[in-house]
Amino acid sequence: MNFNPVEILGLIAAVFTTSAFLPQVYKTWRSRSAKNLSLTMYLVFFTGVMMWMVYGFLIDSLAVILANIVTGFLTLILIYFKIRYKD
Amino acid sequence: MNFNPVEILGLIAAVFTTSAFLPQVYKTWRSRSAKNLSLTMYLVFFTGVMMWMVYGFLIDSLAVILANIVTGFLTLILIYFKIRYKD
């Protein structure tokens, strides 16, 4: 893993795209409603995120690895909410 | 741009994470409602996606570039819906 400017840009991008899920997780948790959220979207998305994580390891990119581990975790929470708040 | 198995994995991951947005775009368009969608999430996410696109160019990864151009476009559509269906 190297820490050149390019990798730092990737890490900053990672912070944005992963933290972007936080308002959605918070909003869904607060409203106890996931009606507008598409379960299909989050299942397909989760599968892709896992593949990106493997891709990150293969190209030795810490940014891609970290981004997808965190995004995967947040996506799992939204999938849990979607199933739990069956409305 | 090289087309080795690693890059192909990245392209498949890209298809999953980008197409994952389609059900959400369709659901929001059909229901004319974006109440549960978080505008903050999509704005922060869009910013991150643009940075990932630049990162993709810098590490010469077609998968990262393509994934983020398409995801960026779909995210813009959701942002448009969120603003238009002010409910």
Residue boundaries of the structural domains of chain B = 5-84
Are A36 and B41 an interchain contact pair (Cβ–Cβ within 8 Å)?
no
Q: Report angle CA A68, B44, A86 to the nearest 5 degrees.
A: 70
Task: For A4-59, write each residue's pLDDT tens digit.
Answer: 899 999 999 999 999 988 887 888 888 888 887 778 888 999 999 999 999 999 99
Of B18, B40, B55, the CB nearest to A6: B55
Are A10 and B52 an interchain contact pair (Cβ–Cβ within 8 Å)?
yes
Are A17 and B58 an interchain contact pair (Cβ–Cβ within 8 Å)?
no
> In whole angstroms, what is the distance from residue A41 CA to residue A72 CA?
13
> In whole angstroms, what is the distance from residue B29 CA to residue B14 CA?
23
Task: For B36-67, write each residue's pLDDT tens digit.
Answer: 777 888 899 999 999 999 999 999 999 999 99
- CB burial of residue A38 (10 Å; 0-12, 13-18, 19+): buried
Q: Is the per-residue pLDDT at A1 higher than 60?
A: no
Query: B20 to chain A: which residues are within 8 Å by CB?
Result: 40-42, 44-45, 48
Q: What CATH class is the domain A5-84? A: mainly alpha
**Total Cβ atoms within 10 A of residue A23:** 18
Task: For B60-87, write each residue's pLDDT tens digit.
Answer: 999 999 999 999 999 999 899 889 887 5
Complex ipTM tops 0.95? no
| Residue-wise burial string across A58-72, b where 16 or more C-beta atoms lie within 10 A, e elsewhere | bbebbbbbbbbbbbb
Query: B41 to chain A: which residues are within 8 Å by CB?
Result: 20-24, 27
Are A55 and B9 an interchain contact pair (Cβ–Cβ within 8 Å)?
yes
